[in-house]
Structure 1
Amino acid sequence: MSRFERIRGRLRRAYEAGRDSVRAGRETPPDVAEPAKVASPAAPGPAAPPTATVVGAEPPADLHNSTSSRDDADVPHALRIAAAWSWRLIVIGIVFWALLKLVGTISIVIIPVAVALLLSALLAPAVGWLLRARLPRSLATAVVLVAGLAAVIGTLTLVVNEFIKGVPELTAKSTQGLQQIQEWLKTGPLHLSDNDLDRYLEETQQWVNNNTERFTSGALSTAATLAEVLTGAVLVLFATFFFLRDGNLIWRFLVRLLPVAARWKVDDAGRASWATLVAYVRATVLVAFIDAVGIGTFLVIFDIPFAFPLAALVFLGAFIPIVGATLSGGVAVLVALVDSGPVTALIILGVVIGVQQVEGHILQPLIMGRAVAIHPLAVIIGLAAGVVLAGITGALVAVPLIAVLNTAVRRLAARSVPDTPPDAVVVASRAP
C-alpha cells in the first residue's frame, strides 16, 4: 500500500469519526444537562451553566411571572391581586365620576340628543317604508317628522280642550266629594270631631302659606327656564331629522375613528344595540297604547270626566316602566273618587291593577321578547338613578339605556366573529 493510500484512509476514518460524534450530539435530548465544570485559579475555565447544581449554595427564590423583584415575590399572592384590583377600580371610579360631572355640565345638550335618539328609533321604520317606496331620503325624513309633530300637537290640543271643558263640572263635584270625605271622617272608623277637622284644615292652610314663597320661586325658575326648554325642543327636532336621514353615515364615521382591529366588533355591537332600542321603543308604544285604551274604555263606561286626558296620561306614563302607568292610573282613581264616589273608584282601581298585571305578565314578554328582557331589579335601580340624576327625563331614558348597554356588552363579550360587511374588500395574501 502506497503512502498516499494510507493518508487517504486516515482522512476518511477521521471524517467518519467526526460525523458520528455530530450525529450523537444531535440525538442527545435537550433536557439532559452536561456535568458542571468547576473553574479554579489554577485551571481557569467557563462558569457553571444555569442548570448546574452547586453543592452548598442556597437555591434561588422562585419568582412569579407577574413579579419583577424579590420584594414583589415576598408579598402574598392574594394581596398582590387585591392591590391590582384596587387601583384599577379607583381609576375606573375616577373616570366614571368625571363622566358624570361632564354629563351634568352639558345636560342641556345630552338630554335633547337622548330624546332625539328615542324618537329616531320610533320613526325609523316609517322612514324605511317611504324609502322602499322610492322617495328621496330627505323628503321621506321630512314627511315622517312633520306627520309625527302633527300627531303630537293634535293630541295635546284635544287633551287641553277636554280638560278646559270638564274643569267646571269637576270643580263642583270636587266640593261634593270633599264634603263626603268629611262626613266619612266623622262617622267612619276615625271618628274625628269638628274641632279636629278644623285644626287639621288650619295646619294645612298654614303650611301652604309658609311654602308660598317656595312655590312662587319654583314658578319663576320654571319661567326662567322656558328659553332652555325651547332651545332643547329645537335641538330635538334637528337632531331627530339628521339621525333619521344620516344616522348610518354618522355611525360609520364614528366607527372609523377606532383602531382597525376593533371596528368590526364595535360595529356589530352598535347595530345590535340600535335594533334593541328600536324594538324597545316600538314595544313600549304598543304596550302604552293598549294600557291607555283599556283604562280609557272603563273610564268612558263609568262616565268619569276627563276620560280622554286621563287615557293620554296613562299612555305617557307607560313609557316609565312599572312606576309610570301605576301613578297615572292612580290619578284616574282619584278623579273617579271625587266624581262618582268610593265604589266606582274601587272598580277603576281594580281595572288599573288588572291592566298592569296583563301588561307585566303577558304583553311585555310577548311583545318585547327576550331581546330586550331586563331584570326588574335592574329596572328599579335604573329608574331611581335616572330620577336622581335627571328627573323625569332621566326616568324616561334610564331603561332604554340599560337595554342598549346590556345588548352591547353581550355582543362585545361574545367570542363569535361578526359577519363580513358587504362593502368590505378582502385581499388574499400570497403563499410563501
Structure 2
Amino acid sequence: MTAPHPSRFRRESARISSAVPTGLRVAAAFAWRFLLVVAALYVTFQLLSKLAEVVVPVSIALLLSALMAPAVGNLVDMRVPRGLATAIVLVAGLAVLGGLLTFVIIQFTDGLPQLQQQLNNSLNQVRDWLVNDLHLRQEQIQQFIDNAINLLQSNQAAITTGALTTAGTVGVILTGFVLTLFVTIFFLAGGEQIWGFLMKGVPPHVRNRVDVAGRRGFASLVAYVRATAAVAVVDAVGIGVGLWIVQVPLVVPLATLVFLAAFVPIIGSVVAGAVAVLVALVTNGFVTALIVLGIVILVMQLESHILQPLLLGRAVKLHPLAVVLAISAGLVLAGIAGALLAVPLLAVLNAGIRSLLHETDPHPEAVDVLHDQEAAAPDGDPAEAT
C-alpha cells in the first residue's frame, strides 16, 4: 500500500477542517492554548512553593529595596559612594525599626498588668451576668472551667508538639530575616549590575523593550511602596489618636500593629482594627468598643475614598476590585505572604506589560525609576489595570 500524497493529505485535512463549524474551531484553539498556559502557571507555582523559604525573603527584599532605593539614590546624587550610601540607609532603617520594636515591647510589658487586671474585671462581669441574668448556677460555670482545663491537660502532648513547631518556625523566620537583609544589601548596592546581567539573557532585538519594561515595573513598585507607607502612617495616627482619646490601653502597640498591617491593603487594616475593637471591648466595655469601632470605620472610609484614590491610585492605577481579588487569591494560594506580595506583583506586571505593548520604546536610560513618578507607564500615562 502506498502512502497518500502530501498535497492530497492537505486537501483532505482542509476539507475536514471546513466541515467543522468556525465557532468550534476557534473554541478548540483557545482551549488548548488556555490549557498550556494553565499547565505552565501550575508548574511555576509548584516550583515557587517548593522554594518558598527563598522566594519570600527575596520578594520582601525587593520591597525593602524599592522603599530604600530613593534614599540611596539621593545620597549617590550627593556624591556619596554607593556602598557607603547603602550602609547609611540600612543602618538608619534598622535603628528606626529596632527602636520602634523596643519601644512597643516596653510599652506592652508595662501595660500588661493593667490589661490583665481589666481582663479579670471583665471576666468577673461576664460571670455575674451569667449568674444573675441567665440564672446559671455557679457550679455550672465552674464545671465549664474545669472541663476546659481537663481538655488542655489531655492535649498536652499536641500542645507541646505545637510549641516545638513554633520554635522551629521562629528559626525559619530568623533565617529568612538574615537572608532578606543580605539580599537587600546586594539589591541596593549592585541592583543596576544585577539587572544588566539578567538582560544579557534576553534576545538582542527585544532587549531594549524588556529593559524599559523592567525599569517601569520597578518604578511602579517604588511608587506603590511610597504610597502604601503614607497610607499606613495616616491609618496608624488616626486610629491611635482615637484610642488615646477614649483611653484604651496599649495605644502605641495597637497603632504600630495598624501601621504594619496596612501594608496588606484593605484586609490588613480591617484585621488590625478588629484587634483594637476587641481590646477595647475586653478592657473598657461595650460602649467604648462601639466608639472604637466607629473610629476604625471612619479611618477605613478615609482610606478607601480619599487616601487610596489620591495616593495609591495615582501611583499604580489599580482598580479596587483588582486589588481585592489579588489579595484574596494571594491569601488562598500562599497565606499571609501571598496577601502581602499580591498587589505589588500585580502593579509590577501591570506596568511592565503595558510598557511591552506600547509602540514606541525610549532608551532604557531615559527611564528614571527613582525620581520620575510618571515612569510607571509609557508617555506619562499612568498604568491602569485592565
Query: TM-score normalised to the size of structure 1?
Result: 0.77
Aligned with 2:68 (options 113, 123, 140)? 123
Q: Determine helix, strand or coil for the equivalent of 1:225.
A: helix
Match of 2:306 in 1: 362
Q: Return the alpha-carbon distance in structure 2 between the equivalents of residues 275 and 206 of structure 1.
A: 57
Q: Return the alpha-carbon distance in structure 2 between the equivalents of residues 380 and 214 of structure 1.
A: 36
Match of 1:240 in 2: 184
Alpha-carbon spacing, 1:324–1:187, altered in 2? closer, same or farther (3 Å): farther
Match of 2:354 in 1: 410
Measure how far apart 1:196 and its partner are.
6.2
Is 1:163 aligned with 2:108? yes
Aligned partners of 2:227 and 2:315 also within 8 Å: no
Q: Return the alpha-carbon distance in structure 2 between the equivalents of residues 286 and 245 of structure 1.
A: 25
Measure how far apart 1:310 and its partner are.
0.8
Match of 1:114 in 2: 59
More RCO (CA 8 Å, sep 6+): 2
Measure how far apart 1:369 and its partner are.
3.3
Is 1:353 aligned with 2:313? no
Match of 2:29 in 1: 84
Please identify, of 111-120 and 79-88, the stretch whose mean Cα deviation from structure 2 is larger.
Answer: 79-88
Q: Deviations over 1:357-408 (max 9, x none)?
A: 1011111111123341323333233223322333222221111111211222
More helix by share: 2
Measure how far apart 1:347 and its partner are.
1.2
Match of 2:244 in 1: 300
Match of 2:270 in 1: 326
Please identify, of 401-410 and 365-374, the stretch whose mean Cα deviation from structure 2 is larger.
Answer: 365-374
Match of 1:71 in 2: 16
Please identify, of 300-309 and 101-110, the stretch whose mean Cα deviation from structure 2 is larger.
Answer: 300-309
Q: Return the alpha-carbon distance in structure 2 between the equivalents of residues 212 and 384 of structure 1.
A: 35
Q: Return the alpha-carbon distance in structure 1 between the equivalents of residues 154 and 334 of structure 2.
A: 28
Q: Return the alpha-carbon distance in structure 2 between the equivalents of residues 217 and 373 of structure 1.
A: 46
Measure how far apart 1:193 and its partner are.
2.4
Rg (Cα) greater in structure: 1
Q: Return the alpha-carbon distance in structure 2 between the equivalents of residues 379 and 343 of structure 1.
A: 34
List gaps (5 residues or longer) in structure 2: 1-7, 367-386
Identity of aligned residues (%): 49
Match of 1:20 in 2: none
Measure how far apart 1:92 and its partner are.
1.3
Alpha-carbon spacing, 1:203–1:417, altered in 2? closer, same or farther (3 Å): farther
Match of 2:78 in 1: 133
Q: Return the alpha-carbon distance in structure 2 between the equivalents of residues 346 and 250 of structure 1.
A: 52
Alpha-carbon spacing, 1:204–1:374, altered in 2? closer, same or farther (3 Å): farther
Q: Determine helix, strand or coil for the equivalent of 1:304.
A: coil
**Paired AA for residue 82 in structure 1:** A
Alpha-carbon spacing, 1:107–1:203, altered in 2? closer, same or farther (3 Å): same
Aligned with 1:261 (options 195, 200, 205)? 205
Alpha-carbon spacing, 1:393–1:192, altered in 2? closer, same or farther (3 Å): farther
Aligned partners of 2:212 and 2:363 also within 8 Å: no
**Paired AA for residue 225 in structure 1:** T
Please identify, of 401-410 and 272-281, the stretch whose mean Cα deviation from structure 2 is larger.
Answer: 401-410
Q: Return the alpha-carbon distance in structure 2 between the equivalents of residues 412 and 330 of structure 1.
A: 42
Q: Return the alpha-carbon distance in structure 1 between the equivalents of residues 17 and 135 of structure 2.
A: 76
